[in-house]
Amino acid sequence: MSDTTAIFNAIEQAQTIIIHRHQRPDPDALGSQFGLKLTLQHAFPDKRIFAVGTVPNDLGWLGQSDTVSDDQYTDALVITVDTANTERIDDDRFNQGRQLVKIDHHPNDDNYGDLSWVLPDASSTSELIVDFIDAHQDALSLTRDAALLFYAGIVGDTGRFLYPATSAHTFAVASELLATGIDAAEVGRHENELSRGLGRLMGDVLANIEIDKFGAAHYVISQAQLASLSLATSEVQPLVSTPGRLADVRAWLLFVENPDGSYRVHLRSKGPAINELAKAHHGGGHDLASGANAADQQEVDDMIASLSKLMQQWQQTH
Ligand code: AMP
What pLDDT does 234 receive? Answer: 81
DSSP 8: H
State which ligand 1 atom lies nearest to the alpha carbon of 237: 4
Domain(s) labelled CATH 3.10.310.30 in the chain stretch across 196-317
Which amino acid would we find at residue 4? T
pLDDT digit string (tens) for 61-108?
A: 999 999 999 999 999 999 999 999 999 999 999 999 999 999 999 999
Handedness of CA 300, 301, 304, 310 (dihedral sign): negative
pLDDT at residue 3, rounded to an integer: 81
**What H or E segment, with its residue span, contains residue 7?**
helix 5-13
Question: Ligand 1 atom 6: the closest Cα is on which residue?
Answer: 290
**What is the pLDDT at residue 1?**
53
For residue 81, the one-letter residue type is V
- Find out whether 200 and 232 touch, Cβ atoms under 8 Å: no
pLDDT of residue 109: 87
- Closest residue CA from atom 10 of ligand 1: 285
Look at residue 2 in the predicted model and tell me its pLDDT.
Answer: 62
303 C-alpha to ligand 1 centroid (Å): 16
At 229 the pLDDT is 96
Fold category of 196-317 in CATH = Diaminopimelate Epimerase; Chain A, domain 1 (3.10.310)
- CB-based pocket (< 6 A), ligand 1: 22, 84-85, 88, 106, 240, 266, 283-286, 289-291
pLDDT of residue 233: 87
Do the bridges between strand 289-294 and strand 263-269 make them parallel or antiparallel, or are there none, so unpaired? antiparallel
In this structure, what are the phi and psi dihedrals at residue 210, rounded to the nearest 5 degrees? -90, 130
pTM for this predicted structure: 0.92
| Ligand 1 atom 3 nearest Cα | 291
User: Is it the case that residue 235 has pLDDT exceeding 90?
Assistant: no
CA 100 to chain centroid, in Å, comes to 20
Question: What are the pLDDT digits (tens) for 7-63?
Answer: 999 999 999 999 999 999 999 999 999 999 999 999 999 999 999 999 998 899 999
List the one residue out of 244, 39, 256 whose CA is nearest residue 126.
39
Could you tell me which residues are beta bridge partners of residue 211? 217
Taking the centre of ligand 1 as the mean of its atom positions, its distance from the CA of residue 75, in whole angstroms, is 30
Q: How many angstroms does the Cα of residue 26 sit away from the middle of ligand 1?
A: 10
Mean pLDDT of 116-124: 97
State the Cα–Cα distance between residues 81 and 119, nearest whole angstrom. 12
**292 CA distance to ligand 1 centroid (A)?**
7
> SS in 3 state form for 140-206?
CCCCHHHHHHHHHHHHHHCCCCCCCCCCHHHHHHHHHHHCCCCCHHHHHHHHHCCCHHHHHHHHHHH
Q: Which of 81, 89, 80 is nearest to 24 (CA)?
A: 89
Q: Which residue's CA lies nearest to atom 7 of ligand 1?
A: 290
For ligand 1, what atom is nearest to the CA of residue 254? 2
Nearest ligand 1 atom, CA 157: 10
Class of residue 187 by CB neighbours under 10 A (exposed 0-12, middle 13-18, buried 19+): buried
Which amino acid type is present at position 303? M
As annotated, the residues of the chain forming the CATH 3.90.1640.10 domain(s) are: 2-191
Q: Per the CATH hierarchy, to which homologous superfamily does domain 2-191 belong?
A: inorganic pyrophosphatase (n-terminal core) (3.90.1640.10)
